[in-house]
């Protein structure tokens, strides 16, 4: 070979070597997509990708606006930033190691293995969890759930946690609480889900809502109350913000629940209908419960009720029919309202009612799934107690208790470590000034 030919061949040689290294899977798997094209359903793939975008919208702008409107004006940007930065940080964590811990090959029913670190071997072919969509589509759909769950917790410590502590808390909580719990319930071989005990959680009653709700309670107790709570007036600074955020959550929840069917099919349609039905019913029952309790109905009450109904229907959306969804949503609106009322009597400062809405609503929804689930709706599920299978309710209770204990203990450990290492909350002076200025040197409004 001549020197000229040798020089010309070198780039191709190094490209071939580099491609071989990368195709080993650590940075990016080299896939032959055409060979798998016949197995991919375009409609299912489009639905799951669109659902992923809807769930992303739930975090930012949905939850960001909902929480941002509920805090005082001096903390609006800091609260918006919680959701926005978690969207960025957990998206990266999910690609590097989170997805592997949650959905990698099973290790003892507790966590996934490390075969998917850096998305090794996760490509355009169908994966082990869905046979008509690319593995990457399933990965990013689940990633949006991993993003929103720690963002929900931020409502418990809004207006008082250090930003650098918040960053580490979010990363550690996602890694050591959310990822293992997702494997327990949804991972192949996880001990709680269909491959293990057989508990039902269609879209995240335990994984997302109970885990965030109980973690929020621990955060509220360990971080402590805001200065002036409960005597100082701490009204929401922008109800239009909050209601807009709640409406975006309602829309995004169709991707959250109906997208969890992983197909554009009848189960997805059922989940879509039950999701809307439960949300609408809960908005009404919360409104009337509040009207009866305080003498006046409020816009914030109706919006909070809708969110409570969405939370409660999540575990059963693809397992129950529309009429039970009315019962689930109706009870959620009342129970969650009174759970929020009890907060002031118990004197713990869950700033934005994460415990009452997500913890209580998620627990009720998981129990209700054990009551109303029907194999006529989803042959892959189980019949609930009201259709003759009492074991289903028993499995739901075990899943609820396990989630409460695991999330509470792990959250307490993470907070204690962070408190000893760097402190959890800002100084009294910084809290009085507001986190927008003290933590970020900017203001939400310039008048």
Domain CATH code at residue 168? 1.10.3430.10
- Least Cα distance to 263 among 94, 40, 59, 36 occurs for 40
CA distance 104 to 176: 15
Between CA 269 and CA 47 the distance in angstroms is 12
β pairing state of 106-107 and 111-112: antiparallel
* Number of structural domains in the chain: 1
pLDDT band at 38 (very low <50, low <70, confident <90, very high): low
The DSSP letter of residue 231 is T
- State the Cα torsion 314-103-410-402 to the nearest 10°: 50
Question: Is residue 27 included in any domain, yes or no?
Answer: no
Residue 365 in this model has a pLDDT that exceeds 70? yes
Taking only the tens place, the pLDDT of each residue in 194-213 is 889 999 999 999 999 999 99
Residue pLDDT, tens place only, 370-384: 999 999 999 999 999
User: Nearest-CA neighbor of 398 among 202, 192, 182, 209?
Assistant: 192
25 assigned to some structural domain: no
pLDDT digits (tens, 9 = 90+) for 133-169: 999 999 999 999 999 999 999 999 999 999 999 999 9
pLDDT score at 37: 54
Q: With a threshold of 0.75, does the pTM exceed it?
A: yes
Q: Is residue 279 part of a domain?
A: yes
Does any domain span residue 20? no
Host H or E run for residue 106: strand 106-107
Alpha carbons 224 and 349: distance in angstroms, whole number: 7
d(CA 146, CA 55): 10
Q: Which two tokens stand for residue 48?
A: 């799951």
Spatial separation of the C-alpha atoms in residues 224 and 342, rounded to whole Å: 17
Confidence of residue 27 (pLDDT cuts 50, 70, 90): very low
Is residue 104 over pLDDT 50? yes
In this prediction, residue 344 carries a pLDDT of 83
- Establish if 446 belongs to a structural domain: no
Q: Is the dihedral of CA 361, 365, 368, 370 positive or negative?
A: negative
Q: Is position 269 within any domain?
A: yes
* Inter-axis angle of helices 360-372 and 299-313, nearest 10: 50
Residue 276's contacts (CB-CB under 8 Å, 6 or more residues apart) are 254
Tell me whether residue 261 is in a domain: yes
Euclidean distance between CA atoms 343 and 304, whole angstroms: 15
Identify the domain containing residue 351 by its residue range.
34-440
Residue 10 lies in a domain: no
Q: Do residues 321 and 196 touch, judged by C-beta distance below 8 A?
A: no
């Amino acid at each position: 070979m001549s020197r000229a030919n040798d020089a010309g061949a070198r780039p191709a040689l190094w490209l071939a070597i580099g491609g071989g290294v990368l195709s080993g899977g650590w940075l990016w798997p080299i896939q032959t997509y055409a060979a798998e094209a016949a197995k991919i359903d375009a409609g299912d793939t489009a639905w799951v990708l669109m659902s992923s975008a809807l769930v992303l919208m739930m975090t930012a702008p949905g939850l960001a606006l909902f929480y941002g409107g509920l805090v005082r004006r001096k903390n609006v940007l800091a609260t918006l930033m919680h959701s926005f930065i978690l969207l960025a940080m957990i998206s990266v964590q999910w690609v590097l190691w989170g997805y592997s811990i949650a959905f990698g090959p099973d290790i003892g029913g507790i966590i996934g293995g490390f075969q998917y670190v850096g998305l090794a071997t996760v490509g355009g072919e169908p994966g082990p969890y869905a046979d008509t969509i690319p593995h990457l589509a399933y990965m990013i759909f689940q990633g949006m759930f991993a993003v929103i769950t720690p963002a929900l917790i931020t409502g418990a410590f809004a207006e008082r946690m250090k930003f650098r502590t918040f960053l580490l808390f979010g990363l550690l909580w996602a890694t050591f609480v959310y990822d293992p719990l997702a494997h327990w319930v949804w991972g192949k071989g996880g001990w709680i889900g269909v491959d293990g005990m057989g508990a039902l959680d269609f879209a995240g009653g335990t994984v997302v809502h109970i885990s965030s709700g109980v973690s929020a309670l621990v955060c509220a107790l360990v971080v402590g109350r805001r200065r002036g709570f409960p005597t100082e007036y701490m009204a929401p600074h922008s109800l239009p913000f909050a209601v807009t955020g709640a409406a975006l959550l309602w829309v995004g929840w169709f991707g959250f629940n109906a997208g969890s069917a992983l197909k554009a099919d009848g189960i997805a349609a059922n989940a879509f209908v039950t999701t809307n039905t439960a949300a609408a019913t809960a908005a009404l029952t919360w409104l009337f419960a509040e009207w009866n309790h305080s003498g006046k109905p409020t816009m914030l009450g109706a919006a909070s009720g809708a969110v409570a109904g969405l939370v409660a229907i999540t575990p059963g959306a693809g397992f129950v029919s529309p009429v039970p969804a009315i019962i689930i949503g109706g009870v959620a609106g009342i129970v969650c309202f009174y759970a929020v009322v009890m907060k002031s009597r118990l004197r713990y400062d869950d700033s934005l009612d994460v415990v009452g809405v997500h913890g209580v609503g998620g627990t009720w929804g998981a129990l209700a799934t054990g009551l109303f689930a029907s194999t006529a709706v989803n042959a892959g599920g189980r019949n609930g107690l009201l259709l003759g299978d009492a074991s289903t309710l028993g499995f739901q209770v075990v899943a609820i208790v396990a989630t409460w204990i695991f999330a509470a203990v792990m959250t307490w450990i993470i907070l204690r470590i962070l408190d000893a290492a760097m402190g959890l909350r800002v100084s009294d002076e910084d809290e009085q000034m507001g986190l927008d200025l003290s933590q970020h040197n900017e203001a939400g409004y310039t008048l």
